[in-house]
Amino acid sequence: MSDYVTVFGSLDDYEKGHIEIINDRPQHYTFSNVFEVAGNSAPYEKVAVARNLENVIEVLRAEGESDWFTCSHDEFALAMDGEIEVHFHKAEGEEVVAEEDEGTRKIEGDPSGPKMGWVVLKRGHQAILPKGSVYQYRARKLGVILQQTIQGPFTVEKWADICLT
């Protein structure tokens, strides 16, 4: 039986992904360029790298503090590199997003609702960004976040740049 080695990249050390067909078995196909996408992105720019029905997977370059965000549905964040704090407040008043408004929304200024807490994400750690909350990323050091959400006004599509180069 062949041995397979999983190599986990980082912003400082990655090999650009490609499709490698081995024995025509889907579990042996690999593709990843999230570190290259993050390396070429502005801090907290939400660049789409995959779609699953209405869901989109976005890569964010975590650097410094983000704006405050909220959403009408749960979102999911996975730290791929670095160390990122996620601070939560309860959404109140105009911070509450209507059900029909999908995707991440920015709020102006600081949140008005009470603090709900915070988490620290290191490589491989994940967090739910719950509906009804306002959240902010704070990167302790440069990092990469994969975020699952529904495509919205801040989703950036660069398919020609990231898939064809």
Prediction pTM value: 0.81
Number of domains in the chain: 1
Q: What is the mean pLDDT of the chain?
A: 86
Bridge partner list, 115: 89
Among the ranges given (18-22, 29-33, 116-120), the one the predictor scored with the smallest mean pLDDT: 29-33
pLDDT digits (tens, 9 = 90+) for 35-57: 888 999 999 999 998 888 888 99
The reply to whether 32 falls in a domain is no
State the CATH number of the domain containing residue 83: 2.60.120.10
* Beta carbons within 8 Å of 142's beta carbon, 6+ residues apart: 11, 61, 62, 63, 81, 82
In a domain? residue 52: yes
pLDDT of residue 140: 83
Domain span at residue 49? Answer: 43-156
Residues in Cβ contact with 157 at an 8 Å cutoff, skipping those fewer than 6 apart: 47, 48
Within a domain: 9: no
Buried b (16+ CB within 10 A) or exposed e, 114-139: eebeeeebeeeeebebeebbbbbbeb
- Residue 22: pLDDT above 70? no
